[in-house]
């Protein structure tokens, strides 16, 4: 079907209920924020839904709302017919929820439903966003409704009161409400919105904290009297027998894989949820004590082969490799891959390779072990962990300066800034990573090294392109010097694996008794290996290499060289939002979501690839959403 415009309208309202007004306004009330602790995201490509562009859904951890974002046009989604300047209809779930993982699903290219893990009430939340597309191409959104408010004269005093209720489309959710009178004020409580911070009085309009409801009470009442009513936004809760932690749609099957943790039993399972039927399709038992957290799918299968699925265990040092047949999820096989620690985040990335260009195929699982500040890489074809930097003492991945928050892989190759030996820009699959210190970085999918800028790691102080070193001559006059490579013009040769070199100061101190140089990094510490003049030196982990040439005047005890290295790693760790005069540090970025879409036409052949690669990064404490351009590695859009 043809793509529909990014506008819409609510479905036809039904007959008005007594003492009830169905409000037509949406979330443009003062004080309503699009982002209030943005955390989880779900992406709906244009070809899968009723929109003419890709849409991102962002779940807010503090307000319990899910917000649709127009990724391509850098705005919130315009879903109101004739009023594209208005905010979209948020999907409200209640601010007492603690929303975790999020998934978006369109069963027919017209309707859109959202699924979210609710860690507060231990349920899988299912909420409608778009019900369908009208003949004129506008969107039909779910119409909120409510039961008649019922007044309870609990002391039998004969009081009579009425409550005239209005609902807020995009703010009202499914829940039960109590309005209790204490003799002076009415206290308002929703089962999913909680006890409200303000109270109601007779004859004055009341608006709930997040605009879920508004009403006016008229009449008389005494202490103990109350109103009861229920609101309905189409949201339903599914009890899966535990806390849903991880979500992963199984592509093209209509199944949603849910990692469920039963705290009482101390056991986890993976539930295959049939999104169309709204029912469980099967369960996969995991090893004893397993707590399924991160769930990712692997290489899409051919024909009727089962889907490879990987589940990270948040309690035990293990990743579980499942092979799931969508027709019989219960029969899935489970193999255990031993990890270095319980798993904080997981991502699969692979490439079919291209023999003509000497590009090998690979299938890699990126695993963030909790508490180890690194990301390990498992080679699924070889069945073993990759030692990303063989020169260090860790059989694993690159060490990061901060714990990992989340990982997300690209599905296509991305042109990176660094260049090959032939001068062409390197391209590879990538894995985006966010860390607790407020950074977004990228791993090369084939190597597990961090992506760097075009210059790569280098001495940070230069003059006219020449590296600068500070030499302190102690004692008798000495004149050693660094050997400069004629091919590169550099004295310091850094590791070719991004992330091995750190941004730190290095000090070389001559020990006349031993006849060598003590090498020490501000972060890396004193190196076991010492440098001898006229011999190539390599630091313990291979971060830097150099040759110091002896001079015509002998080096003496205490002579020192100092220089600083810049790691050259591509990273985003601050952004100018307009709130401050200078770029502000990112405050706790949430897990990233790496996506791509076609940004222009192509006729094939030698046309430039129109694919636009980006990472969408919610920043939870800053209440912003970033769009990071991967091939240029820079923030190109901010939703603030």
pLDDT (tens digit per residue) in 359-389: 789 999 999 999 999 999 999 999 999 999 9
55-60 and 38-44 beta bridge pairing: antiparallel
User: What is the DSSP track for 214-243?
Assistant: EEEEEE---TT-EEEEEEE-S-EEE--SSE
pLDDT at 18: 30
Nearest of 137, 201, 209 to residue 173 by alpha carbon: 209
Closest CA to 91 of 151, 46, 42: 42
- The backbone region for 421, taken as left when phi is positive above 0, alpha when psi lies in -120 to 50, beta otherwise, is alpha
Q: How confident is the model at residue 541 (pLDDT cuts 50, 70, 90)?
A: very high
Phi first, then psi, for residue 54 (nearest 5°) are -70, 145
Q: Tokens at residue 45, please?
A: 């490509």
- Going by the DSSP 8-state scheme, the letter that residue 399 receives in this structure is B
What pLDDT does residue 24 have?
Answer: 30
Fold of 343-456+570-639: Lipocalin (2.40.128)
Over residues 134-193, the pLDDT tens digits come to 888 888 888 999 999 999 998 889 999 999 999 988 899 999 999 999 999 999 999 999
Using DSSP's 3-state secondary structure scheme, residue 308 falls into strand
422: pLDDT strictly greater than 80: no
Answer whether 268's CB lies under 8 Å from 261's CB: yes
Q: What is the pLDDT of residue 352?
A: 86
- The helix (H) or strand (E) run that includes residue 617 is strand 611-619
**Residues 421, 424, 428, 431, CA torsion sign:** positive
| 128 within 8 A of 111, measured Cβ to Cβ | yes
Distance CA 478, CA 620 (A): 55
Is pLDDT at 527 greater than 80 in this prediction? yes
Distance CA 314, CA 342 (A): 5
Question: Which residue ranges does the chain devote to CATH 2.40.128.630?
Answer: 343-456+570-639
Q: How far apart are alpha carbons 541 and 565 in whole angstroms? A: 15
- Could you tell me if 578 and 640 are in contact, meaning their C-beta atoms sit under 8 angstroms apart? yes
pLDDT over threshold 70, residue 17:
no
Region of residue 632 (phi > 0: left; psi between -120 and 50: alpha; otherwise: beta) = alpha
How many Cβ atoms sit within 10 Å of the Cβ of residue 593?
A: 20
How far lies 265's CA from each of 117, 242, 269, 272, 521, in Å? 20, 9, 11, 20, 49
What gap in Å lies between CA 48 and CA 576, rounded to an integer?
Answer: 34
CB 497 within 8 A of CB 394: no
Q: Does pLDDT of 455 surpass 90?
A: no
Provide mean pLDDT across the span 42-52. 92
Beta bridge partners of 128: 113
Contact status, residue 175 vs residue 135, Cβ threshold 8 Å: no
What is the pLDDT at residue 84?
64
Q: What is the pLDDT of residue 255?
A: 97
pLDDT surpasses 50 at 5: no
Question: How many other C-beta atoms are found inside a 10 Å radius of the C-beta of residue 620?
Answer: 20
Two tokens, residue 471:
């030499």
pLDDT of 87: 74
Enter the DSSP assignment of 46.
Answer: G
Residue 452 CA, chain-centre distance (Å), reads 21
SS3 459: strand
Alpha carbon of 517 to those of 103, 173, 522, 535, 555: distances in Å?
Answer: 57, 69, 16, 11, 10
Place of tokens 């705290």: 263
- Nearest alpha-carbon partner for 597 in 117, 150, 73, 22: 73
User: Are 256 and 277 within 8 A, CB to CB?
Assistant: no
Exposed, middle or buried by CB within 10 Å (0-12, 13-18, 19+), for 90?
Answer: buried
CA–CA separation, 625 vs 640, rounded Å?
Answer: 7
For 213, the token pair is 């409801």
Under 8 Å CB-to-CB from 304, ≥6 apart: which residues? none
Give the CA dihedral 545, 550, 553, 556, nearest 10 degrees.
Answer: 50
Token duo for residue 14:
């039904």
- Contact between 619 and 38 under an 8 Å Cβ cutoff? The reply is yes
pLDDT at 450: 96
Task: Give the end-to-end CA distance of the chain in Å, rounded to a whole number.
Answer: 34
- Sheet containing 611-619: which strands, arranged edge to edge? 593-598, 611-619, 624-629, 634-639
In this predicted model, what pLDDT tens digit does every residue of 576-591 receive, in sequence order?
876 666 788 888 999 9
Token duo for residue 270: 């993976």
| 185-218 pLDDT tens trace | 999 999 999 999 999 999 999 999 999 999 999 9
Sign of the alpha-carbon dihedral angle for 282, 286, 292, 297: negative
List of residues 6+ apart from 593 with CB closer than 8 A: 41, 42, 43, 56, 408, 615, 616, 617
Does residue 470 sit in helix, strand or coil?
strand
* Phi, psi values for residue 356, rounded to 5°: -60, -30
> Count of H helices and E strands in the chain?
0, 56
Most confident of 80-89, 480-489, 532-541: 532-541
Helix or strand (DSSP H, E) at 335: strand 328-338
Q: Which two tokens stand for residue 132?
A: 């369908």
Answer yes or no: is pLDDT of 605 > 60.
no
What's the whole-number average pLDDT of the chain? 89
Whether the Cβ atoms of residue 270 and residue 282 lie closer than 8 Å to each other:
no
């Amino acid at each position: 079907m043809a793509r529909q415009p990014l506008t819409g309208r609510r479905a036809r309202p039904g007959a008005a209920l007594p003492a009830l007004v169905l409000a037509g306004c949406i979330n443009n009330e003062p004080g309503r924020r699009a982002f209030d602790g943005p955390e989880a995201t779900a992406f709906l490509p244009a070809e899968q839904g009723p929109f003419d562009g890709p849409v991102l859904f962002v779940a807010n951890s503090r307000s319990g709302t899910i917000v649709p974002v127009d990724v391509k046009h850098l705005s919130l989604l315009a879903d109101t017919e004739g009023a594209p300047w208005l905010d979209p209809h948020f999907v409200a779930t209640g601010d007492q929820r603690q929303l975790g993982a999020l998934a978006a699903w369109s069963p027919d290219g017209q309707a859109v439903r959202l699924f979210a893990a609710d860690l507060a009430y231990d349920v899988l939340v299912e909420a409608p966003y778009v019900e369908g597309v009208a003949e004129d191409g506008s969107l039909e959104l779910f119409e909120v409704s409510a039961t008649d408010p019922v007044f309870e004269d609990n002391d039998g005093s004969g009081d009579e009161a009425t409550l005239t209720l209005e609902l807020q489309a995009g703010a009202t959710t499914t829940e039960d409400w109590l309005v209790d009178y204490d003799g002076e004020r009415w206290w308002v409580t929703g089962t999913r919105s909680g006890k409200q911070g303000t109270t109601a009085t007779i004859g004055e309009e009341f608006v709930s904290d997040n605009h879920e409801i508004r009403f006016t009470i008229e009449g008389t009442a005494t202490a103990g009297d109350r109103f009861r009513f229920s609101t309905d936004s189409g949201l339903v809760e599914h009890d899966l027998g535990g806390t849903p932690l991880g979500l992963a749609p199984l592509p093209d099957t209509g199944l949603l894989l849910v990692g469920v943790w039963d705290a009482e039993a101390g056991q986890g399972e993976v539930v295959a949820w049939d999104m169309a039927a709204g029912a469980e399709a099967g369960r996969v038992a995991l090893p004893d004590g397993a707590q399924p957290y991160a769930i990712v799918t692997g290489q899409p299968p051919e024909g009727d082969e089962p889907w490879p699925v990987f589940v990270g265990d948040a309690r035990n040092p293990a990743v579980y490799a499942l092979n799931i047949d969508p027709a019989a999820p219960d029969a899935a096989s489970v193999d255990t891959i031993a990890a270095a620690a319980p798993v904080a985040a997981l991502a699969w990335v692979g490439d079919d390779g291209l023999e003509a260009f000497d590009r090998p195929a690979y299938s890699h699982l990126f695993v963030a072990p909790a508490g180890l500040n690194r990301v390990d890489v498992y080679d699924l074809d070889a069945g073993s962990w990759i030692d990303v930097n063989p020169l260090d003492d860790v059989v694993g991945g690159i060490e990061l300066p901060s714990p990992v928050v989340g990982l997300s892989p690209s599905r296509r190759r991305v042109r990176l800034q660094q260049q090959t030996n032939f001068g062409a820009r390197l391209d590879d699959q990538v894995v985006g990573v966010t860390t607790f210190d407020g950074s977004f970085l990228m791993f090369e999918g084939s190597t597990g090294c961090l992506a760097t800028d075009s210059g790569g790691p280098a001495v940070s102080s230069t003059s006219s392109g020449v590296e600068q070193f500070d030499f302190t001559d102690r004692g008798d006059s000495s004149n050693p010097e660094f050997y400069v490579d004629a091919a590169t013009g550099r004295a310091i040769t850094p590791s070719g694996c991004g992330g091995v070199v750190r941004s730190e100061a290095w000090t070389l101190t001559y020990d006349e008794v031993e006849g060598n140089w003590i090498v020490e990094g501000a972060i890396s510490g004193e190196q076991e290996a010492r440098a001898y003049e006229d011999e190539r030196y390599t630091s313990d982990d291979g971060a830097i290499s150099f040759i110091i040439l002896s001079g015509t005047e002998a080096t003496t005890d205490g002579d020192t060289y100092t220089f600083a290295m810049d790691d050259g790693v591509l990273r985003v760790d601050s952004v100018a939002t307009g709130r401050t005069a200078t770029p502000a540090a990112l405050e706790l970025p949430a897990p990233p979501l790496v996506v791509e879409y076609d940004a222009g036409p192509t006729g094939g052949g030698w046309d430039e690839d129109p694919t636009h690669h980006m990472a969408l990064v919610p920043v939870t404490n800053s209440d912003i959403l970033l769009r990071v351009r991967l091939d240029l590695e820079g923030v190109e859009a901010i939703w603030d």
